[in-house]
A = this chain, B = another copy of it.
Amino acid sequence: MRPSDRRDHLRSALVEAAERAIAAHGLAGLKARDLAQEVGCAVGAIYTVFPDLDALVLAVNVRTLALIEAAVAATPRPAGRGEGAAEDLVRLSLSYLDFAAGNGPRWRALFEHRMAGGAPPPDWYLAEQVRLFRYIEEPLRALRPDLDSAGTMLLARSVFSATHGMVSLGLDEKLMSLPREVLRAQLETLVGALARGLLMPREDAGSPPVIPGPGSGARDP
């Protein structure tokens, strides 16, 4: 093997070992010594391919983001303005719940990981996070065509945060967990209500609420 191939090989082996450790025991389960032992290298060799353990965690987290993307990408696309988009937001939230419930420790690692010294994550990592919000932006554009792209992105983030709050607290066995089916029904109720509420113009917009009926742009008064 050429030195560069050997480095690539070591890098992959370390990411895979770190991924297994995080999936089994969460971030707290990640120890440089254990990783070195598992891939058969010296502890110091880790730092020839990663500047620090943070970089290794980010490499695992970006793979977790890709798994979430694969899970939500399987959710059908919105049919158009109205209930289709609302149903789509609900389906996205249920895919997210299923992923979180099935991949607890590595999902929690996305939110528990903090860069050493309080540094923000690098831009390439943030870009991967933002890419996932696109799946939420699509139905939101159907619900709120009046928003510009920055407004849609911000709203997608907020819808994600609200969904994440329900999933995160609802799955937390030490805090206030709910039976899975109850949590699914609550997501359907709340995310559905949120979507229908977004579709309605605000009272302060000065116009009466307009509710589009199935298959039509708006119901005539």
Contact = CB atoms under 8 A, between A and B. Distances in A.
Interface of A: 83, 111, 114-115, 118, 120-121, 129, 154-155, 157-159, 161-166, 168-170, 173-176, 178, 182, 186, 189-190, 192-198, 200, 202-203, 208-209, 211, 213-214, 219, 221
A154 B188 CA distance: 13
Contact of A200 (B166, B196, B208): B196
Contacts of A173: 118
User: Sorted from nearest, which 5 A-B pairs have the closest CB atoms?
Assistant: A165-B165, A197-B197, A193-B197, A162-B162, A196-B197
Contacts of A195: 193, 197
Given A129-B176, A163-B162, A186-B155, A203 B197 contact: no
Contacts of A163: 162, 165
B120 A174 contact: yes
A197 B121 CA distance: 36
Given A161-B170, A197-B197, 20 more contacts: A83-B203, A115-B174, A118-B174, A129-B176, A154-B178, A154-B182, A157-B178, A161-B165, A161-B169, A162-B165, A165-B165, A165-B166, A165-B168, A192-B202, A194-B194, A195-B197, A196-B197, A197-B198, A208-B213, A209-B211
Contacts of A120: 174
B164 A169 contact: yes
A186 B154 contact: yes
A96 B211 CA distance: 31
Q: Chain B CB within 10 Å — which of A169, A192, A193, A211 has the most? A: A193
A198 B200 CA distance: 12
Nearest to A209: B211
